[in-house]
Amino acid sequence: MTSADVQTLDPQQRQLLECCYEALECGGIPLNQVANTMTGVYIGNFASDYESLAFKEPEKIQGMQVLGMGRTTVSNRRQHEHGLFLHNVCRPLRRAALRNGEIPAAFVGGVNLILTLEYHFAIGQIGALFPTAMCHAFDASADGYARGKSINVLYLKRVSNALRDGDPIRRIIRGVSLTAIGKNNGITLPGAMAQELYIRKAYEHSGLIDYNAVGFVECHGTGTPIGDPIETTAIANVGHGEAGSALTSIIKVVFAMEKGLIPGTIGINRLNPSLDLRRGCLAVVTKNNPWPANKAKRASVNSTGYGGANGHVELETIEEYPKGSNVRLDTQAQFCVDPYTSIL
């Protein structure tokens, strides 16, 4: 980067570059193996606080700030500095491109830095933030969520390629579903039917219809009186964190599976009476528990956005892969389609 780039670069872009490099280090992959390849880059970005700060002083505005602070360059910066050739902003195409062999690997990231108060105040005005000092997901006193700073990056490859290359595989993405809620009573309000639909779709995609085979579900846990009951209702029928929340949950679950623990949810004094736990079929975990001995190391992560986006991901260990692998030949496209994606 030039000196002008460095002077005007949003900290979100700078720290995301570092995390992408650290993701490669975690997988033992040299940067020169990734440079000049058709690697995908998919980044979620929520706010641009640094841009708001910089533009408060018109006399100091520089042309390079358009590139250093623009949201469109958050992912493009990864391509440029790491010598990557591909970027695609559509999430379903990300999954298809990786599965179909159009790209060898992909960086998937989320970044959210809180640097100003204006956006914080605006979110508080719609009643989304907690007025107390703690988030109380699934509790009767649930009154909002706490904003968090997060910078997360996953490096994804097809399992067949990761096994071929001898990569350390942390977990496998067995199934995934992404939907939108459509029209309902309000754009920020979740819907049980839509959430149930995408959860079912994730399991259908994984080929695992036995929901009892999943030992743990990491909920979005908005900590709101409306969102918590709807989420448990959707899960029965089958930390709210902005742009990086879903990846934070995925990374959390990966660590939990590696440790053999189901992490407890803090801040619960009395369960929300509106929660439908299906007569004990569901349970809100309030303390760390060992992973059930009769359950495979398989877990799901649920995530929703306040604009109506929904996502559900099913994770499992590499040990489960040979039991359910379903590598097939697509005769029309003439390439192998692997239904699994690995997280390195």
CA 246 to CA 114: how far, in whole Å?
Answer: 17
CA 208 to CA 214: how far, in whole Å?
Answer: 9
Residues 196 and 299 grouped into a single domain: yes
- Residue 87: which domain range? 1-113+149-168
- Looking at residue 154, what is its pLDDT? 94
Lookup result for tokens 């369960």: 271
* 153, 19 Cβ separation under 8 angstroms: yes
> pLDDT tens string for the chain (344 positions)?
777 777 778 888 888 889 999 999 999 999 999 988 888 888 888 777 877 777 767 666 665 555 555 556 555 655 555 545 444 344 445 567 888 888 999 999 988 888 888 877 887 787 777 776 567 777 777 777 777 788 899 999 999 899 999 999 999 998 888 777 666 666 666 666 777 776 788 878 777 667 677 778 887 655 454 544 444 433 333 245 577 788 888 988 898 899 998 888 777 778 777 777 767 677 788 888 898 887 788 888 888 777 677 788 889 888 766 554 444 333 333 333 344 566 66
- Looking at residue 333, what is its pLDDT? 33
Number of separate domains in the chain = 2
Residues 135 and 252 grouped into a single domain: yes
* 41, 153 Cβ separation under 8 angstroms: no
Residue type for 170, please?
R
Residues 156 and 213 grouped into a single domain: no
Q: Which domain-ending residue is among 136, 168, 200?
A: 168
How many angstroms separate the Cα of 291 from the Cα of each of 171, 211, 219, 257, 298? 16, 16, 17, 8, 10
Alpha helices in the chain (DSSP H): 3-8, 11-26, 31-34, 49-54, 65-69, 73-82, 91-99, 118-125, 159-165, 192-206, 227-237, 245-259, 321-324
Residues 198 and 277 grouped into a single domain: yes
Residues 227 and 87 grouped into a single domain: no
* 107, 238 Cβ separation under 8 angstroms: no
Residues 156 and 227 grouped into a single domain: no
Q: Which domain-ending residue is among 133, 168, 203?
A: 168
Residues 159 and 211 grouped into a single domain: no
How many angstroms separate the Cα of 199 from the Cα of each of 70, 108, 237, 297? 34, 21, 9, 18
* 96, 339 Cβ separation under 8 angstroms: no
- Looking at residue 171, what is its pLDDT? 92
The pTM score is 0.77
Q: Which domain-ending residue is among 135, 168, 201?
A: 168
Residues 81 and 140 grouped into a single domain: no
Enter the tokens of residue 4: 């002008």
* 135, 146 Cβ separation under 8 angstroms: yes
Residues 180 and 237 grouped into a single domain: yes
Residues 272 and 298 grouped into a single domain: yes
Q: Tell me the backbone φ, ψ of residue 110, rounded to 5 degrees.
A: -140, 135
Enter the tokens of residue 197: 């639909």
CATH code for position 340 = 3.40.47.10
Residues 187 and 260 grouped into a single domain: yes
Residues 185 and 292 grouped into a single domain: yes
